Amino acid sequence: MHKYILTLVNSLIIILLCSCYSGRSLHKKGQILYKTNFEVKHRLVHTSKDSSILHLLADSDEYELSLMAFSTERRMILLDKKKVFENKGESIVSIPFKVNEPEYFLEIVIRDLNDGRVFRDAFLADRNISSQSVTIRKTDGSAIVRNYVPIQSEIVLHHPKEKTIWVKYFEKDFRSASPPFSDRGYKFNPKENFSAAIPVPNGGTVKLEGYGLYFIQTDTSFYNGIYINVFEESYPRISSSEQMLKSTRYITKLDEYKTMKNSGNIKEAIDKFWLGKASDKEFAKDLIKTYYTRVQVANRDFTTYKEGWKTDRGMLYIIFGIPEQIVKVRNKEIWIYSPTDRRDGVRFEFKRRHGQSLLVHMEHFKRPWDVEVFEWRKGILND
Least confident of 2-6, 198-202, 269-273: 2-6
Q: Give CA–CA dist 106/110, Å, rounded.
A: 13
Domain-ending residue, one of 110, 128, 146: 128
pLDDT number for residue 382:
73
What residues does 21 pair with on adjacent strands?
none
Name the DSSP class of 60: -
Q: Say which CATH number the domain at 109 has.
A: 2.60.40.2550
Domain-ending residue, one of 177, 200, 230: 230
pLDDT number for residue 330:
80
Average pLDDT over residues 274-289: 90
* Domain match, 120 and 199 both: no
pLDDT number for residue 31:
53
* Domain match, 149 and 121 both: no
pLDDT number for residue 374:
96
- Taking 60 as the threshold, does the pLDDT of residue 128 lie above it? yes
- Taking 80 as the threshold, does the pLDDT of residue 13 lie above it? no
Average pLDDT over residues 10-26: 34
Q: Other CB atoms closer than 10 Å to residue 57's CB: what's the count? A: 20
User: Pairing relation of β-strands 164-170 and 332-337?
Assistant: unpaired
Q: Tell me phi and psi for residue 296, to 5 degrees.
A: -65, -45
* Domain match, 22 and 124 both: yes
pLDDT number for residue 37:
83
* Domain match, 104 and 143 both: no
Query: Using one digit for the tens of pLDDT, what is the confidence trace for 230-240?
Result: 999 999 999 89
Residue 213 lies in a domain: yes
Please report which confidence band the pLDDT of residue 19 belongs to, taking 50, 70 and 90 as the band edges: very low
Instruction: State the sign of the Cα–Cα–Cα–Cα dihedral 69, 70, 71, 74.
Output: positive
Q: Other CB atoms closer than 10 Å to residue 51's CB: what's the count? A: 14
pLDDT number for residue 4:
34
* Domain match, 157 and 202 both: yes
Residue 382 lies in a domain: no
Query: Using one digit for the tens of pLDDT, what is the confidence trace for 151-174?
Result: 999 999 999 999 999 999 999 889
Query: Using one digit for the tens of pLDDT, what is the confidence trace for 322-337?
Result: 999 998 888 899 999 9
Residue 350 lies in a domain: no
pTM across the whole model: 0.90
Structural domain span for residue 119? 13-128
Residue 41 lies in a domain: yes
* Domain match, 139 and 199 both: yes
Average pLDDT over residues 260-282: 92
- Taking 60 as the threshold, does the pLDDT of residue 142 lie above it? yes
Number of domains in the chain: 2
* Domain match, 18 and 115 both: yes
* Domain match, 92 and 141 both: no
* Domain match, 136 and 116 both: no
* Domain match, 84 and 69 both: yes
* Domain match, 46 and 91 both: yes
- Taking 50 as the threshold, does the pLDDT of residue 10 lie above it? no
Domain-ending residue, one of 93, 112, 128: 128
